[in-house]
Chain A
Amino acid sequence: MKKEIGSFVVGDSTKCTGCKACELACFTVHNRKSNHLGKTVGTVTVPVTPRLFLTKFEQGCMPIQCKHCEDAPCLNACTKGAISRIDHQVIVDAEKCIGCKDCMQACPFGAIALLPYARDGRLVGQAMSSEPKVFASKCDLCEGIEGGPACVRVCPHQALRLVDPEAEREEKNIRAAEALLLTKNWR
Chain B
Amino acid sequence: MIVAIDQNICTGCRECAEVCPAYAIVGEQGKPQTIDTDRCVMCGQCVQKCKSYVSVLTHGKDAYERVKKERNIPDSVQEPLFAAHAVCHLNEVKAALADKNRFTIVQCAPAVRVAIAEEFGAELGTLTPGKLSAALHALGFDRVYDTNFPADVTIMEEGTELVKRVTEGGVLPMFTSCCPAWVKFLEDNYPELKDHLSSAKSPQQIGGAIFKTYGAQLEGREGKDIYSVSVMPCTCKEFESERPEMKDSGFRDVDAAITTRDLAWLIKDMGIDWEALDEQEFDQPLGLYTGAGTIFGVTGGVMEAAIRTGYELVTGQPIPDLEVTAVRGTEGFRTSVIKVGDLDLKVGVVTGLKNVVPVLEAVKNGTLDLHFIEVMTCPEGCVSGGGQPKLLMDTDREEAYAARRAATFAHDRELAYRKSHENPAIKKIYEEFLEEPNSHIAHHLLHTTYCNK
Contact = CB atoms under 8 A, between A and B. Distances in A.
Interface of A: 17-21, 23-25, 28, 36-48, 53-54, 56, 60-61, 113, 115-116, 150, 153-154, 156
Contacts of A23: 51, 53, 55
Contacts of A25: 392-393, 395
Interface in B245-298: 261, 264-265
A56 B11 contact: yes
A42 B51 contact: no
In this complex, the member of A21, A37, A44, A53 whose beta carbon has the largest number of chain B beta carbons within 10 angstroms is: A21
Contacts of B400: 39
B80 A24 contact: yes
Given A19-B15, A43-B118, A43-B120, 13 more contacts: A17-B29, A18-B11, A20-B52, A24-B80, A25-B395, A39-B393, A39-B400, A42-B389, A47-B56, A47-B64, A53-B57, A154-B395, A156-B15
Contact of B11 (A20, A37, A46, A48): A20
B415 interface: no
A42 B259 CA distance: 13
B391 A39 contact: yes
B347 interface: no
Contacts of A47: 56, 64
A43 to B, nearest CB: 5
Contacts of B119: 38, 40, 42-43
A89 B79 CA distance: 31
Contacts of A37: 392
Nearest to B18: A156
Nearest to B115: A40
Contact of A17 (B13, B57, B64, B391): B13
A41 B56 contact: no
B394 interface: yes
Contacts of B395: 25, 153-154
Contacts of B52: 19-20
Interface string B42-82: 00000000011101110000001000000000000011100
A20 to B, nearest CB: 5
23 contacts: A17-B14, A20-B52, A21-B393, A24-B53, A24-B393, A25-B395, A28-B392, A38-B119, A38-B121, A39-B124, A39-B400, A40-B390, A40-B391, A41-B390, A43-B119, A44-B80, A45-B78, A47-B64, A60-B30, A153-B395, A154-B394, A156-B15, A156-B394
B79 A45 contact: yes
Nearest to B267: A42
B208 interface: no
B125 to A, nearest CB: 10
**Central interface residue in A17, A25, A48, A153, by most chain B CB within 10 Å:** A48
The prevalent SS among residues of B at the interface is: loop
Interface string B367-394: 0000000000000000000000111111
Contact of B393 (A18, A20, A61, A154): A154
Interface in B68-102: 78-80
B80 A39 contact: no
Contacts of A60: 30
Given A21-B394, A24-B393, A39-B392, A44 B78 contact: yes
Nearest to B79: A44
A54 B11 contact: yes
Contact of B80 (A48, A56, A113): A48
A116 B78 CA distance: 14
B122 interface: yes
A21 B392 CA distance: 8
Given A36-B121, A44-B79, A61 B30 contact: yes
Closest 5 CB pairs between A and B?
Answer: A42-B119, A19-B13, A40-B389, A17-B13, A38-B121
Interface string B11-53: 1111100000000000001100000000000000000000111
A27 B64 CA distance: 17
Contacts of B124: 39
B396 interface: yes
Given A18-B30, A19-B52, A42 B393 contact: no
Given A20-B52, A24-B392, A41 B15 contact: no
B13 A20 contact: yes
Contact of A41 (B11, B29, B392): B392
B123 to A, nearest CB: 8
A48 B79 CA distance: 9
